[in-house]
């Protein structure tokens, strides 16, 4: 068993769409779903580029599925190879996450009786993020005569986000060896250039270039003798107007450089004008592949986690770490990691609080330079967040619940129920507030762990102060109890709407204001001019700061002083308990079973809420408090059909409380959520937040890593079988390697 | 000036989309917008097939834009011909509605300096409704050397309804001379086969066939000597699964028959396998064209209206009659004429009351066999209409406000405002009821004019009785006034919602019930067994009929007995008058200016409501009543930005009242609504209801045609300049030619 390979040796059409997601390749600049190059009925090919959006009717905008660069059709003696035709004699597909390569080997008997072996591999270069490449070979097996082989490589504009098209062709051309396509999104007018070359390893295959607005193509055609193999290579370069003003020029120049062409200039050419211009560029593919593999090996050098004694967990944790990398860009701070990364159409490429709570810690601990980009993205949203706060009647910055390229709220006001077609109002954009504190926390934690003071001075402090301003204006003074309340919100447990004083929200808001006060002190100490400038710019005066202190001192936190039990929100304990035994064997969430109205009346929790608070602000609660709350909330959470965000997060707390078996059970639910399509929605994309939570569960849970003033501590919990747990992280610029062995 | 040609001699990119609509060709089986075959940036190519729908997120389903059959790209010496490139030296486009042919001549200088003349024509065969054909020739003008000419003809799947895609490729292939594409809609799974041939008039042009899932193509390539011309012909055949179970076989066999091929069978072939299979099939095009032209001449034989003395009106009336024909099928009673026919995406191919009130009379008077199809369509909706009545708590049949292929309501419950993104509730599907009476009236009128007793016996009576059942159960007895009221509706004037006793609705409902009683008497007289069977089937007993008579006798009609003035609905006269002078020079409707709430409080009318009643039930009101109501309502109607349905309809009443100048002014507003894009929304499709109203205004208005027991009368009104008005209609199976001359 190779502990770096996600593999299958049977092609099952039933799992077509979830496996398309699982076999996604990417590099943070683009992600490409694992569809077959030859096409398949009902397939969902998608290439999503980091931050490339187009408008949609409901929900602002979505990542716009780019023209498909993978299309490569094979005809042999006039018969088309596709997996729904003929007979599959052998099939093997494997994603090598060590090197970021997706490969497939098929032995196939055509409907007409020819035997072929087709071997392909593809990658999205991690070394050169504009480049995707496919290696494709065809062998004539057990055939007695020469075969007429035709291979068509195309860039295909006839794709959409499901059925919604986003691109139109602006222009198209070729220079004989490279064909290019210039498209733009229909509404946002993002320009995209894709250039393509396609060659065979033998000049016996004739190359012809076909211009087209719809699917510009290069064709290779030749004879294949019995037992012989033809090998082809398709290289694609992509640039968008997010990269610069001349994407077509950039793509073609870059492409020419790759294939060592000495041509200059390119032009539209009639088909076949350069039919004889075939080049042998296989050196280009080999070089690209070598650099790409090295880049992945470099990544794993700092990112790998070794789990000995549990192969399933070993592969799964690596797969989750692979996913985190291909969803984030090391070079772009204008966008962040979407709920589904670049792997599918779910949540339309929008960014939620998931990024800060679940994914950011991985980057903060392991790849601080990427973490910095993710936090700077939120800094860039501040103007929009200020506008949102103002529109809601508050001060400071209120972050949108869903965001895209700016700080404008991207949560749809209403969605269409996928089955009933009913319109359902969505309140999250209006009253789910806690994301604002989560973003402040993420920025603070990035600074705390990285020690990146320049960041805190120039950007972080402004995030913290602006969010504190929001909370201090949002909290209302209640004269009867002389405390501050935050009414009418949705907490992390979204099954309860319009609640007052959600503990997570209030506690995080208080933390946010207090931390802003602390950071302001730090700023006055370390950069007094900046402190003065910032408070003036944000219009924060002494009275404001006194008010902030008042809010911190008097914020209502619904907690039983004697037992430490926290009430999720005002009145939660008065709701009806739910007899979960009545629902044994269910295959849907409690919300689906009870209905949106009924579920609100019960003590049943969609996802960690109080327990998430105890995890995120781990150092603010003692073990006894954690225990009493765990005992209350863990049993009343919908672990199976609630949120995918929960299981791995629960594992951290379970480890702290010594419940390793429970921790492991929850951990595996998170680690395999997509590899085994446990929630049935993997076709819509990878659960990236779950990947981040799985990393946290491994390091903060099982390894028990905690940072201190003096360095770090670990306190490992060992699930059955685990004998070694090794990983690397960074603290204040220092690389730290941890290698734990079970005694 | 040719009085059969819609022409332009300048290409204006500003009017691209409205002219695409204006230059639509069609035959009732399919309609194809007048986009350029060579493509143009931002163009909206569309081919809509009668009754071919696919599901959409809001509003049930829409006519699904089929793969574009018109695409034909020209490259000369590697330069692509498109009207946004190079220099247009001369341009002429003309739609010959006499023969149903769209033609274009362009003299063009390429960016590289070559001079070309390109002449093209296309038609949708009226003689063979599955066939579309293009004739395309290229002449080398003022060039000194041979030109390398490449022509690509394709079937292009990369199209959508705007950006919503509806088709996926099932299969594709060729038999050497004919290439075919088999697609299906994504949700409704309608199968569509399109076959294509493409030939040149000289064997010096080499033909090559290119298979593709995305855009299967045939290429012609050759040299063009200075001064020489190459002429090509593209023929496409289309069949869908609405036509039979084997659309691909049907299309290919039909196509082979057309091109006199003796091949049998077809198969997928590798590209160029049949490169030498080029045929000279121009006989096919000539034959098709001849038959097509003859079919149009036959159509005009019975359909033309001659207006002498007013060329603008002459062309416009013919254009409107052209549009009515290309929107309706003589061979299909499972669908009817959509608001925009087959000419654009507006209203998504849904069918409204427009069809019965505005368009049906043309067909009833001139093409009763098509009228029968349109009425039978409504008969087929009865099960859905009964379901709707039942769901609303009523008896009988309540027709949906918008319908597609069945009687299920297709009006969206909510729409998204195109600019603000706001969700706006749409009440029409729930409370705009008058369509049910309009359908009953249309069915009755078809019978009354055609004398088709078999229709009335087998279908019409069931429509009349079922709709009467609905109205009798919908009307509520008001004990205080001892009358029947119909509360909480929207009348034809949709700017006033939730009104009580809309005069149009109540009067038409009463007419509907009374006519049902009359028809039942007729049925008992002429086919007593059928009468018994039908009343049993519909569960109509003696008590019911007594109740119906009671409703007829006591229906509230808000009319001043002394003056004859009808109140549009209860309390309309108490609404605030609107000082229209304050809005002079406006460029938007009063609803847009006042807002949806404010407009309801004013006496301002979107479209003919009381005045429509006086027109539809013309014989039930005397001239004095018409006059008093005209004087009241005409001035308070938004003639310019209300509904396009109104102007031509007003012309009828104006003629009766002797106000010929006003009649003519309104008539022209209707007649030119699309030719001059008077309402700015011609890009979304032709105003088909307006076309029908223009016909009515000409015949019932200016000619003053009225049918009587003894035959017919005319009472012409002569606008300035008009000297002759001649037309043909049918009455009880007799063809009647009318030729009026101004004395």
Asked if B57 reaches chain A (Cβ–Cβ under 8 Å), the answer is yes
In chain B, residues with a C-beta closer than 8 Å to the C-beta of A210 are: 210
Q: In the predicted model, what is the mean pLDDT of residues B499-510?
A: 98
Enter the tokens of residue A289: 């592949």
Asked if A415 reaches chain B (Cβ–Cβ under 8 Å), the answer is no
d(CA A402, CA A381): 11
The answer to whether B676 and B723 are in contact (CB under 8 A) is: no
d(CA A481, CA A485): 10
Mutate to test the interface with B, among A158, A174, A175 (most CBs of B within 10 A): A158
Banded model confidence at residue B58, pLDDT cuts 50, 70, 90: confident
Banded model confidence at residue B189, pLDDT cuts 50, 70, 90: very high
The alpha carbon of residue A164 is apart from the nearest alpha carbon of chain B, in Å, by 5
d(CA A157, CA A540): 52
In chain B, the residue whose alpha carbon lies closest to the alpha carbon of A148 is: B270
Residue B480 has pLDDT above 50, yes or no: yes
Mutate to test the interface with B, among A66, A163, A217, A267 (most CBs of B within 10 A): A163
A49-73 tens-digit pLDDT:
999 999 998 889 999 999 999 999 9
What pLDDT sits at residue B421? 64
B518-532 tens-digit pLDDT:
999 999 999 999 999
Asked if B10 reaches chain A (Cβ–Cβ under 8 Å), the answer is no
Share of chain A above pLDDT 90, in %: 90
The alpha carbon of residue B352 is apart from the nearest alpha carbon of chain A, in Å, by 22
Asked if B166 reaches chain A (Cβ–Cβ under 8 Å), the answer is yes
Share of chain B above pLDDT 70, in %: 96
Banded model confidence at residue A423, pLDDT cuts 50, 70, 90: confident
* A192-206, B265-279, B681-695: least confidently modelled range: B265-279
In chain B, residues with a C-beta closer than 8 Å to the C-beta of A58 are: 416, 421
In chain A, residues with a C-beta closer than 8 Å to the C-beta of B57 are: 57, 416, 421
Alpha helices, H only, B381-527: 382-391, 428-431, 435-450, 453-455, 461-474, 503-526
The answer to whether B534 and B519 are in contact (CB under 8 A) is: no
In chain A, residues with a C-beta closer than 8 Å to the C-beta of B158 are: 157-158, 165, 214-215
Share of chain A above pLDDT 70, in %: 96
What pLDDT sits at residue B596? 86
Closest partner CB to A423 (pick from B39, B271, B414): B414
The alpha carbon of residue B284 is apart from the nearest alpha carbon of chain A, in Å, by 29
Cβ–Cβ below 8 Å for A210 and B210:
yes
Enter the tokens of residue B513: 């019930």
Alpha helices, H only, B189-281: 247-258
Residue B304 has pLDDT above 50, yes or no: yes
Cβ–Cβ below 8 Å for B41 and A413:
no
Q: CB pairs below 8 Å between A and B: how many?
A: 95
Asked if B158 reaches chain A (Cβ–Cβ under 8 Å), the answer is yes
What pLDDT sits at residue B275? 38
Asked if A416 reaches chain B (Cβ–Cβ under 8 Å), the answer is yes
Asked if B426 reaches chain A (Cβ–Cβ under 8 Å), the answer is no
Q: What residue has token string 């938004």?
A: B638
In chain B, the residue whose alpha carbon lies closest to the alpha carbon of A74 is: B270
Asked if B418 reaches chain A (Cβ–Cβ under 8 Å), the answer is no
What pLDDT sits at residue A58? 83
d(CA B645, CA B643): 5
Residues of A identified as active-site: 494
CA atoms A619, A622, A625, A627: torsion sign = positive
What pLDDT sits at residue B458? 98
In chain A, residues with a C-beta closer than 8 Å to the C-beta of B268 are: 78-80
Closest partner CB to B273 (pick from A78, A164, A213): A78
Banded model confidence at residue A280, pLDDT cuts 50, 70, 90: very low
Enter the tokens of residue B224: 């063009």
Banded model confidence at residue B271, pLDDT cuts 50, 70, 90: very low
Burial (CB count <10 Å: 0-12, 13-18, 19+), residue A88: middle
B724-733 tens-digit pLDDT:
999 999 999 9
In chain B, residues with a C-beta closer than 8 Å to the C-beta of A215 are: 158, 212, 214-215
The region, left, alpha or beta by phi > 0 then psi within -120 to 50, assigned to residue A27 is alpha
The alpha carbon of residue A489 is apart from the nearest alpha carbon of chain B, in Å, by 23
Element at A368 (helix H, strand E): helix A368-380
The answer to whether A247 and A193 are in contact (CB under 8 A) is: yes
In chain B, residues with a C-beta closer than 8 Å to the C-beta of A41 are: 168, 170
In chain B, residues with a C-beta closer than 8 Å to the C-beta of A171 are: none
In chain B, residues with a C-beta closer than 8 Å to the C-beta of A212 are: 152, 215
Banded model confidence at residue A640, pLDDT cuts 50, 70, 90: confident
Closest partner CB to B423 (pick from A164, A212, A423): A423
Q: Residue A100's Cα: distance from chain center in Å?
A: 16
Banded model confidence at residue B280, pLDDT cuts 50, 70, 90: very low
Mutate to test the interface with A, among B64, B214, B269 (most CBs of A within 10 A): B214
The answer to whether B731 and B740 are in contact (CB under 8 A) is: no
Please provide the size of chain A in residues: 743
In chain A, residues with a C-beta closer than 8 Å to the C-beta of B420 are: none
Banded model confidence at residue B266, pLDDT cuts 50, 70, 90: very low
Closest partner CB to A269 (pick from B78, B160, B212): B78
B101-159 tens-digit pLDDT:
999 999 999 999 999 999 999 999 999 999 999 999 999 999 999 999 999 999 999 99
In degrees rounded to 5, what are phi and psi of residue A115?
-105, 130
Residue A278 has pLDDT above 60, yes or no: no
In chain B, residues with a C-beta closer than 8 Å to the C-beta of A72 are: none
Cβ–Cβ below 8 Å for B158 and A158:
yes
Q: Write out the DSSP string of B676-738.
A: TTTTS-GGG---HHHHHHHHHIIIIIIS--EEETTEEE------TT--EEEEEEEETTEEEEE
Closest partner CB to B160 (pick from A150, A154, A165): A165
A6-32 tens-digit pLDDT:
999 999 999 999 999 999 999 999 999
The alpha carbon of residue A285 is apart from the nearest alpha carbon of chain B, in Å, by 27
More confident of the two residues B447 and B1: B447
Q: In the predicted model, what is the mean pLDDT of residues B687-693?
A: 97
Asked if B379 reaches chain A (Cβ–Cβ under 8 Å), the answer is no
CA atoms B479, B480, B485, B488: torsion sign = negative
Which own/partner pairs from A141-146 qualify as long-range (CB within 8 Å, at least 24 positions apart)? A141/A107, A141/A115, A141/A116, A141/A117, A141/A227, A142/A115, A142/A226, A143/A114, A143/A115, A143/A226, A144/A226, A145/A226, A146/A223, A146/A224, A146/A225, A146/A226
d(CA B544, CA B537): 14
What pLDDT sits at residue B270? 33
Dump strand ranges (E) for A497-593: 576-577
Asked if A213 reaches chain B (Cβ–Cβ under 8 Å), the answer is yes
The alpha carbon of residue B47 is apart from the nearest alpha carbon of chain A, in Å, by 17
A114-165 tens-digit pLDDT:
999 999 999 999 999 999 999 999 999 999 999 999 999 999 999 999 999 9
Residue B485 has pLDDT above 50, yes or no: yes
Cβ–Cβ below 8 Å for B268 and A80:
yes
In chain B, residues with a C-beta closer than 8 Å to the C-beta of A156 are: 214
In chain A, the residue whose alpha carbon lies closest to the alpha carbon of B60 is: A421
Closest partner CB to A186 (pick from B77, B163, B213): B163
Share of chain B above pLDDT 90, in %: 90
Asked if B530 reaches chain A (Cβ–Cβ under 8 Å), the answer is no
Residue A469 has pLDDT above 50, yes or no: yes
Burial (CB count <10 Å: 0-12, 13-18, 19+), residue A32: buried
The alpha carbon of residue B89 is apart from the nearest alpha carbon of chain A, in Å, by 23
Catalytic residue status for B494 = yes
Q: In the predicted model, what is the mean pLDDT of residues A307-312?
A: 98
Mutate to test the interface with A, among B163, B409, B415 (most CBs of A within 10 A): B163
pTM of this prediction exceeds 0.90:
no
ipTM for the complex? 0.74
In chain B, the residue whose alpha carbon lies closest to the alpha carbon of A186 is: B163
Cβ–Cβ below 8 Å for B75 and A215:
no
Give the single-character DSSP code of B358. Answer: I
Asked if B150 reaches chain A (Cβ–Cβ under 8 Å), the answer is yes
A154-176 tens-digit pLDDT:
999 999 999 999 999 999 999 98
The alpha carbon of residue A430 is apart from the nearest alpha carbon of chain B, in Å, by 15
End-to-end CA distance of chain A: 26
Residue A275 has pLDDT above 70, yes or no: no
What pLDDT sits at residue B17? 97
Asked if B79 reaches chain A (Cβ–Cβ under 8 Å), the answer is yes
Contacts of B246 (CB under 8 A, 6+ apart): none
The region, left, alpha or beta by phi > 0 then psi within -120 to 50, assigned to residue A347 is left
C-alpha distance from residue B247 to each of A665, B209, B265, B267 (Å): 55, 21, 14, 15
What pLDDT sits at residue A743? 85
A240-262 tens-digit pLDDT:
999 999 999 999 999 999 986 43
Banded model confidence at residue B267, pLDDT cuts 50, 70, 90: very low
Q: In the predicted model, what is the mean pLDDT of residues B663-672?
A: 97
The region, left, alpha or beta by phi > 0 then psi within -120 to 50, assigned to residue B212 is beta
């Amino acid at each position: 068993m190779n502990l770096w390979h996600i593999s299958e040796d049977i092609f099952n059409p039933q799992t077509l769409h979830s496996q398309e997601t699982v076999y996604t390749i990417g590099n943070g600049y683009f992600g490409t779903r694992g569809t077959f190059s030859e096409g398949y009925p009902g397939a969902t090919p998608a290439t999503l580029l980091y931050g490339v959006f187009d408008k949609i009717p409901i929900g602002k905008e979505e990542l716009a599925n780019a023209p498909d660069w993978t299309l490569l059709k094979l005809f042999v003696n006039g018969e088309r190879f596709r997996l729904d035709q003929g007979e599959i004699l052998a099939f093997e597909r494997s994603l090598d996450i060590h090197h970021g390569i997706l490969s497939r080997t098929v032995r196939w008997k055509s409907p007409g009786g020819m035997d072929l072996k087709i071997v392909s591999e593809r990658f999205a270069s991690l070394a050169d993020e504009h480049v995707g490449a496919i290696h494709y070979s065809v062998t004539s097996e057990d055939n007695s005569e020469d075969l007429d082989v035709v291979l068509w490589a195309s860039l295909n504009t006839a794709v959409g986000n499901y059925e919604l098209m986003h691109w139109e062709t602006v222009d198209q051309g070729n220079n004989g060896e490279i064909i290019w396509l210039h498209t733009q999104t229909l509404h946002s007018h993002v320009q995209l250039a894709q250039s393509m070359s396609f060659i065979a390893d033998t000049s016996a295959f004739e190359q012809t270039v076909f211009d087209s607005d719809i699917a510009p193509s290069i064709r290779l055609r030749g004879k294949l003798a019995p037992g012989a193999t033809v090998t082809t290579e398709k290289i694609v370069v992509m640039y968008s107007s997010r990269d610069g003003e001349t994407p077509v020029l950039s793509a073609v120049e870059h492409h020419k450089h790759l294939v060592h062409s000495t041509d200059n200039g390119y032009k539209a050419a009639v088909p076949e004008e350069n039919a004889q211009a075939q080049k042998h560029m296989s050196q280009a593919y080999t070089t690209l592949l070598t650099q790409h593999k090295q880049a992945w090996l470099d990544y794993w050098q700092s990112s790998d986690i070794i789990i000995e004694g549990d192969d399933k967990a070993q592969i799964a944790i690596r797969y989750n770490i692979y996913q985190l990398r291909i969803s984030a860009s090391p070079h772009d701070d204008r966008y962040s990691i979407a709920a589904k990364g670049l792997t599918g159409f779910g949540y339309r490429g929008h960014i939620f609080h998931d990024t800060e709570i679940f994914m950011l810690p991985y980057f903060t601990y392991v790849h601080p330079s990427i973490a910095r980009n993710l936090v700077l993205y939120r800094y860039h949203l501040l103007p929009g967040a200020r506008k949102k706060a103002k529109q809601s009647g508050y001060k400071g910055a209120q972050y949108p619940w869903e965001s895209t390229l700016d700080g404008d709220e991207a949560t749809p006001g209403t969605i269409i129920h996928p089955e009933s077609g009913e319109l359902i109002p969505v309140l999250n954009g209006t009253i789910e507030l806690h994301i604002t504190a989560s973003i402040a926390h993420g920025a603070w934690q990035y600074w705390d762990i990285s020690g990146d003071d320049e960041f805190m001075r120039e950007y972080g402090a402004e995030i913290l102060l602006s969010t504190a301003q929001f909370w201090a204006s949002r909290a209302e003074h209640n004269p009867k109890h002389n405390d501050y309340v935050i009414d009418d919100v949705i907490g992390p447990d979204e099954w309860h709407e319009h609640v007052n004083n959600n503990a997570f929200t209030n506690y995080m808001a208080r933390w946010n204001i207090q931390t802003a006060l602390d950071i302001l002190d730090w700023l006055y100490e370390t950069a007094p001019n900046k402190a003065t400038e910032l408070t003036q710019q944000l219009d924060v005066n002494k009275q404001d700061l006194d008010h902030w202190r008042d809010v911190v001192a008097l914020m209502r936190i619904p907690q039983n002083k004697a037992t430490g039990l926290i009430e999720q929100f005002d009145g939660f304990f008065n709701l009806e308990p739910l007899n979960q035994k009545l629902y044994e064997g269910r295959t849907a969430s409690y919300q689906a079973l009870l209905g949106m109205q009924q579920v609100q009346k019960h003590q049943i929790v969609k996802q960690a809420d109080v327990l998430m608070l105890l995890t995120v602000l781990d150092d603010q609660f003692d073990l006894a408090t954690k225990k009493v709350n765990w005992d209350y909330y863990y049993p009343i959470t919908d672990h199976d059909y609630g949120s995918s965000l929960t299981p791995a997060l629960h594992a951290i707390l379970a480890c702290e409380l010594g419940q390793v078996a429970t921790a492991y059970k929850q951990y595996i639910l998170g680690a395999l959520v997509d590899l085994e399509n446990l929630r049935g929605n993997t076709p819509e994309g990878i659960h990236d937040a779950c990947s981040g939570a799985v990393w946290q569960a491994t390091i903060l849970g099982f390894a028990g890593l905690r940072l201190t003033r003096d360095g770090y501590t670990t306190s490992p919990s060992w699930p059955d079988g685990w004998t070694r747990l090794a990983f690397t992280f960074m603290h204040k610029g220092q690389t730290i390697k941890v290698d734990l062995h079970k005694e």
